[in-house]
Structure 1
């Protein structure tokens, strides 16, 4: 609003004075056509520049549309993430294998840190092999038909680890087991079994081991961690806590079962 009023005021001042005043000299008569010519020239130049800009913009729009049509014609498309249902063994019937869960001599949970060394692997159809007492019975009653596990040595060499996956009938049973296991452990009515992998690994079978477990789909993943020197694992042991996170969250759930649950397709 302020700019509008300023513009109008300046326009009125520009036209003050006699309306029909005649030019006082020939030079003024000559200057008027030249001024008009120059104004016409600059106006035409402005119009030309505007048309050039509009034309260039139109070119870019047409080029973008052409590129889009060419991409569609070539069939190129970004990858699409397709989820696979792993909520039950009926929807996810393929059994686990050692090659799927522990395919090499090393396990890398985090590429930024050194790997774990695999000492021994095992696949067993009897789930009580990996869990004894009431825990083993619970898993069997919930339809567990296999356990795939391995014993590993931590990157520092100071810890032994047994980690694996129980294959249950469905996610409902896996979640039920997840809730019932802690009271059984606390009451010493059952335990996850560490797997001895030769001389010098006996500590993994001791009752003082550190234990963690988690559920994804119809699978129960677990990890048993013990000090290689057979000393008890302290509750605030940060390295033991990192091992549980590496094995359960990053590797077994975040890598192995992630491959079961997510399929990338064009």
Structure 2
């Protein structure tokens, strides 16, 4: 016989005593059912949240790549991705440019040294300024007979080595006058040989405000040198006729200015022709 709610069971023996073991079993069964419902509900909630997160991720990564029917677009595989743009890389020649021409090469032989040779080209203007020192230009001359502008044995030395032209110009500063001469040869070797064999000296050139100097046995300063196919000489001293000694620094200073200037003029001649050759290699 059964009485009461919840299907409580009263055991045998009468007297209305409940069957406590049966009640405990029923209570445990109800508790298990509630737990299963709670677990099931949690799982459903987890599935729902996961679905929402997945949809959000797909939406954010897809960013407008979905199809018109609402289905998600398939991401391309690496093989389907476009190749890198074929932008050409800068290229550099492995061949080094040729070195610039050597100016000395263009003044070492008549074959390459083709610019006109003139006295005004070597000794331009009416004065020569070197730093704060000004040398006034006197007379100048050019001769195809090199011996006419020399003294002693120098004329024969120049002629024997094939001198084709002798250019001279005189400068004065204070009481000092000096003539510088440039002898032109076909090759550098001939110019060097002429300097090595030099004897006697250049003849001083008067005129243009400069009187006769360094003549008649007066002791004067004489120098000789060469660069390329040009040999250059100087002779200088006092316009008063006073003899030059090693203590006369003014004479040596004028000589230094004139020889430096002449060297630069010869070098500049080579530099200009080398530059022209580089600009027009054909």
**For the superposition of Structure 1 and Structure 2, which TM-score range results when normalised by the shorter chain?**
0.5 to 0.7
1:205: how far off?
3.2
- 1:165 equivalent to 2:182? Answer yes
Other-structure match for 2:17: none
Report the equivalent of 1:47.
Answer: none
Q: Is the 8 A contact 1:195 1:204 kept in 2?
A: no
1:92 matched to 2:94? The reply is: no
**Gaps in structure 1 of 5+ consecutive residues:** 1-68, 70-79, 185-189
Deviation at 1:92, TM superposition (A): 1.2
1:119: Cα distance to partner?
Answer: 1.1
Q: Work out which structure has the larger RCO, using CA pairs closer than 8 Å and 6 or more positions apart in sequence.
A: 1
Larger radius of gyration: 2
Counterpart-to-counterpart distance in 1, 2:210 and 2:269: 35
1:147-197, CA deviations, whole angstroms, 9 ceiling, x for partnerless residues? 11111112xx1101111211012111111121121xx3xxxxx32110111
CA RMSD of the aligned region, Å?
A: 2.2
Which residues of 2 match residues 34-113 of structure 1 at below 5 A?
Answer: 82-84=101-103, 85=105, 86-108=107-129, 110=130, 112-113=131-132
- Number of the residue aligned with 2:255: 244
* Equivalent in 204, 212, 215 of residue 194 of structure 1: 204
1:139 corresponding residue in structure 2:
158
Give me the whole-angstrom Cα distance separating, in 2, the residues matched to 1:161 and 1:177.
21
Cα distance between partner residues in 1 of 2:151 and 2:242: 22
In the alignment, structure 1 residue 260 sits paired with structure 2 residue 277: no
Taking structure 1 as the reference length, the TM-score comes to 0.60
